[in-house]
Amino acid sequence: MTAPKIQIRQVGKTFVGDKREVEALRQIDLDIQPNEFVTFVGASGCGKSTLLRIIAGLETLSHGEILLDGKPIDGPGVDRAMVFQHYSLYPWLSVMKNIKFCRQLKVISDTVRGPGDMENARGRADALLNLMGLTPFADAYPSQLSGGMQQRVAIARALMPKPATLLMDEPFGALDAQTREVMHDLIRHVHKLEKSTILFVTHDVEEAIYLGTRIVLMAPRPGRIDSIYEVPLPAQRNQDMKLSPEFTELKRQILARIRETSGMQTDLDQLAKLTAMAEG
């Protein structure tokens, strides 16, 4: 059996403010295998983004440890790339320059690399542009692109340094339903092609099932893992699978569990009681 890509051991995170402390994560234990596609769902505030940010090295943890390829994470690295909901492209750079930007930084910072690497970088940038269907827009600026296209540029830029792990925090949250479907098939294709390990946070349960091989459902106050679901779909997916009984049953189970863990059910019950009282 292969060693896990990521080992999350007893991880806790408490944000300490002037007036109060927030326990964003408590006792998170999870192993993620190389080339897995794990999706994270759960009520708002259950710590999904915090966990991703800790793995990215953008946030420190308060307890426990996270091992990446057996070594503790001690900051950001080119082996991990993060994609956010807001595309955060450089508006003054063309599509091609946005994609190459991160790679250039890596090349400049790495004295062992020479001009040959710049050639490789150009080849990879061209290949990524092609993969994302952006070749005709290489010289366009972000403001000239739709939201879906901007997010494709952001994904291409994240993939440029060949990160083994891709951390995606609601990357398609701002896109319309049709564009999201296209992006879903694209990101599954990227996963297969690049053999990356993907951790993907979403509020959309359908998205979590369609993309993931495993779904981690988190619960809030404190943020913790509530349950883990294996997705009963084949590796090769298509949009029609969303209508299958396995898919709809899993979606029903997960939505019900999110309602239970978020306290929304109690709110709805109370609302129903109040409505009944008001009606007489």
* Sites of contact with ligand ATP (CB under 6 A): 15, 17, 22, 24, 42, 44-50, 223
Distance CA 132, CA 189 (A): 10
Residue 225 contacts residue 218 (beta carbons within 8 Å): yes
Least distance CB 173 / ligand ATP (angstroms): 9
Nearer to ligand ATP, 15 or 90 (CB): 15
Nearer to ligand ATP, 103 or 224 (CB): 224
Least distance CB 223 / ligand ATP (angstroms): 5
Q: Tokens in use for 272?
A: 């129903």
Least distance CB 53 / ligand ATP (angstroms): 7
Nearer to ligand ATP, 40 or 137 (CB): 40
Nearer to ligand ATP, 5 or 48 (CB): 48
Distance CA 88, CA 154 (A): 7
Least distance CB 31 / ligand ATP (angstroms): 21
Nearer to ligand ATP, 49 or 150 (CB): 49
Three-class SS state of 182? helix
CB atoms within 10 A of CB 16: 8
Distance CA 240, CA 226 (A): 29
Residue 219 contacts residue 43 (beta carbons within 8 Å): yes
Least distance CB 86 / ligand ATP (angstroms): 13
